[in-house]
């Protein structure tokens, strides 16, 4: 099977967003707080922007998963049946991984099932397994129909599991306190993975043409975001407003876009930044640690949550003699604990250093055993 030349810009972008994703997750374990970082009444610029920059992660992973699927099919000689089977098996594996190991890594228990980004990618792959039989322009149209109008449904509410899974974040009780918390409703995420698939041929274009397209698309998305956001007309359920606390808080209000589910404006601004970074990385030299993380995103994801959780528990036990706990009533924090961004960023660097060593070892092991069954756990793509 012929494989197209691997673009280091894709791996660099994956590496950057996996590093940012680790920052968000480390914050959960080393910097729990009684306020949400995006709550303008309680947050500070440091906490807000630390959270906001990590919005780049999920849209980038989902979009590139779609493009990687197209590249895989292209490398396989356009065998749609083989691609559909691959997407079905990979999507099912990711969903199983989400509801088992990933949930256990977050909770060190299985009190509830939380459906997050791995679920969204897995379900998106299952949907894409059916969509790949359609002409690519039709797939692009379906992507637009799932992404552009979905905020029209923001006022529709239901406790039905299918609606929660499709469009509205929420908890579905199953038995007693046990249930499913849908963090990533699927409608816009399936649209985004389909859009990534439709954009797949972009990565086979000559570099100069691809870069022009990326910069133009990035500028168009940014313009769309600014135009719609400035008038509060459409695209996000939370309108912005002047805060009366200076220009920084006004800017924070303007940029505070809705993630669960991702609003049109959320996807516009994160997509604009992601495409601009992709174009820029084609011109910039590769940074080896970032490239390494970008080539093994699933390996990083599978391990880093449990690692941050263990280290966070150890930190709280040694420093405060107890753990932070969370339930439906809110958070309980140990005596003497004050949330610290400095601690979060130092812990982030420690986690990245450990993960670099583990990922390097995994990379070297894979190079020695390229046909190993275990390599299927790491969805490296062209």
**Any domain includes 266:** yes
Decide if pLDDT at 131 tops 80: yes
Number of neighbours of residue 149 by Cβ within 10 angstroms: 12
pLDDT tens for 347-365 read 999 999 999 999 999 999 9
**Calculated CA dihedral for residues 120, 125, 128, 129, nearest 10 degrees:** -150
The pLDDT tens digits for 35-90 are 999 999 999 999 999 999 999 999 999 999 999 999 999 876 668 999 999 999 99
Would you state the structure tokens that stand for residue 377, as one six-digit string? 């756990």
Q: What would the two tokens of residue 222 be?
A: 């940014």
- Domain membership flag for residue 162: yes
Sign of CA dihedral 326, 329, 335, 340: positive
pLDDT tens, position by position, 168-198 = 999 999 988 899 999 999 999 999 999 999 9
| Listed range (2-11, 189-198, 333-342) with the worst mean pLDDT | 2-11
Beta-strand ranges (E) seen in 176-298 are 178-182
Residue 21 domain flag: yes
CA-to-CA distance for 349 and 360, rounded, in angstroms? 16
Within a domain: 382: no
Residue with tokens 């493009």: 67
Domain that holds residue 218: 8-377
Contact 152, 263 (CB under 8 A): no
Q: Is residue 363 part of a domain?
A: yes
Q: What is the pLDDT of residue 314?
A: 97
Angle 288-295/297-320 helices, nearest 10 degrees? 110
Evaluate if residue 324 carries a pLDDT over 80: yes
Contact of 186 with 166, CB cutoff 8 Å: yes
Model confidence at 374: pLDDT above 70: no
Helices (H), 132-255: 136-147, 161-166, 186-198, 207-231, 247-255
Whole-number pLDDT of residue 1? 40
In a domain, 1, yes or no: no
Residue 94 and residue 127 in contact, taking contact as beta carbons nearer than 8 Å:
no
pLDDT digits (tens, 9 = 90+) for 214-273: 999 999 999 999 999 999 999 999 999 999 999 999 999 999 999 999 999 999 999 999
Decide: 226 and 218 in contact? Cβ < 8 Å. Answer: no
pLDDT of residue 368: 84
pLDDT for residue 372 is more than 80: no
Provide, rounded to the nearest whole percent, the portion of the chain with pLDDT above 90: 87
- In total, how many domains does the chain have? 1
Q: What share of the chain is helix, strand, coil (3-state, %, to 5)?
A: 65, 5, 30
CA angle 225, 226, 228 (to 5 degrees): 65
Q: Does any domain span residue 292?
A: yes
Q: Is residue 68 part of a domain?
A: yes
Predicted confidence at residue 58, as pLDDT, reads 97
């Amino acid at each position: 099977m012929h494989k197209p030349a691997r673009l280091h810009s894709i791996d660099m972008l994956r590496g950057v967003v996996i590093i940012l994703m680790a920052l968000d997750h480390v914050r959960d374990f080393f910097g729990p707080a009684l306020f949400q970082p995006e709550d303008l009444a309680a947050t500070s610029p440091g906490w807000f922007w630390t959270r906001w920059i990590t919005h780049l992660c999920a849209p980038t992973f989902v979009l590139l998963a779609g493009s990687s699927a197209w590249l895989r099919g292209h490398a396989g000689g356009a065998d749609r049946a083989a691609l559909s089977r691959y997407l079905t098996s990979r999507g099912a594996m990711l969903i199983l991984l989400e509801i088992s190991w990933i949930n256990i890594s977050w909770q060190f228990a299985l009190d509830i099932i939380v459906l997050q980004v791995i679920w969204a990618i897995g379900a998106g792959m299952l949907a894409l397994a059916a969509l790949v039989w359609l002409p690519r322009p039709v797939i692009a149209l379906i992507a637009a129909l799932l992404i552009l109008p979905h905020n029209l449904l923001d006022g529709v509410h239901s406790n039905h599991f299918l609606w929660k899974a499709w469009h509205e974040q929420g908890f579905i009780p199953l038995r007693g306190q046990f249930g499913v918390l849908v963090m990533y409703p699927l409608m816009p995420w399936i649209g985004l993975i389909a859009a990534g698939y439709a954009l797949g041929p972009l990565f086979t274009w000559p570099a100069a043409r691809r870069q022009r397209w990326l910069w133009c698309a990035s500028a168009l998305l940014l313009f769309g975001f600014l135009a719609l956001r400035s008038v509060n007309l459409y695209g996000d359920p939370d309108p912005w407003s002047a805060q009366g606390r200076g220009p920084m808080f006004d800017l924070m209000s303007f940029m505070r876009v809705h993630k669960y589910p991702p609003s049109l404006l959320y996807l516009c601004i994160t997509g604009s930044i992601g495409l601009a970074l992709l174009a820029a990385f084609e011109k910039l030299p590769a940074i080896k640690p970032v490239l390494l993380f970008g080539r093994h995103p699933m390996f990083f994801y599978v391990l880093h949550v449990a690692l941050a959780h263990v280290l966070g528990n150890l930190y709280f036990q040694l420093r405060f003699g107890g753990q932070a706990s969370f339930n439906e009533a809110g958070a309980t924090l140990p005596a003497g604990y004050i949330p610290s961004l400095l601690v979060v960023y130092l812990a982030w660097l420690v986690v990245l250093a450990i993960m670099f060593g583990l990922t390097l070892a995994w990379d070297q092991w894979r190079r020695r055993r390229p046909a190993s069954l275990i390599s299927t756990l790491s969805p490296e793509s062209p």
